[in-house]
Amino acid sequence: MIDVRRAMVLDCRSMARLLNAIIEKGGTTALTRPVTADDIAKRMESNADRSAWHVALDGEEQVVGFQWIMPNLKLPSEAVDIATFVQLGQTGLGIGSALFTATAGAAKDLGYEWINATIRADNDGGLTYYQSRGFRDWAFDENVALADGQRVDKISKRFDLT
């Protein structure tokens, strides 16, 4: 059974551990450098009134996934960016679905009209996840440089809340 609740600063260490395992594996996130609990806490605090963070917990109250929405200056004010991270080996178990239900509700409550997901074009799992939620392609960026110098294509997908 997966429970979803708002993320708290106390969750940041678990969230960083989960995200760092994904970063270390490579190939799915645009993030290339490890993060700390402080990094995540600072990100949570920035734009706190226009953002929402959720964690998914397993039956033992361990963080097995998290998702956030945050404003992005590259998007119009009625749109918000989303990011989703699920513990390695735990995809396909409903964690992302449970997180998105909570996040979409929070986005509506915050007054957003649509959610943007920008995914690496080589991240088949991420593309499939957002497609299965009802996101549709709306932009494509070629040859984008990541922080480590690697170059990837990115696909932006849009989910209309209204």
- Residue 5 pLDDT level (bands cut at 50, 70, 90): very high
Alpha helices in 26-150 (DSSP H): 37-45, 95-109, 124-133
Residue 153 Rama label (left phi>0; alpha psi -120 to 50; beta): beta
Whether 18 and 87 have beta carbons less than 8 Å apart is answered as yes
Q: 119 — phi, psi (to 5°)? A: -125, 145
Select from 69, 125, 135, 61 the least CA-distant residue to 102. Answer: 69
Span 82-123, pLDDT tens digits: 999 999 877 777 899 999 999 999 999 999 999 999 999 999
pLDDT at 141: 95
- Report whether 20 contacts 35 (CB < 8 A): yes
Overall number of domains in the chain = 1
**Which DSSP category does 111 fall into?**
T
Q: Is the pLDDT of residue 140 over 90?
A: yes
- For 69, phi and psi rounded to 5 degrees? -125, 135
Give the structural domain span for 103: 3-160
Task: Give the domain CATH number at 98.
Answer: 3.40.630.30
C-alpha distances (whole Å) from 45 to each of 3, 22, 27, 53 are 23, 23, 28, 10
Which residues are CB-neighbours of 148 under 8 A, at least 6 positions away?
A: 32, 33
Q: pLDDT for 27-65, tens place per residue? A: 677 777 899 999 999 999 988 899 999 999 997 889 999
pLDDT band at residue 71 using 50, 70 and 90 as cut-offs = very high
The pLDDT value given to residue 27: 67
With bands split at pLDDT 50, 70 and 90, how would you rate the model's confidence at 7? very high
pTM (two decimals): 0.92
Residue 94's pLDDT is 86
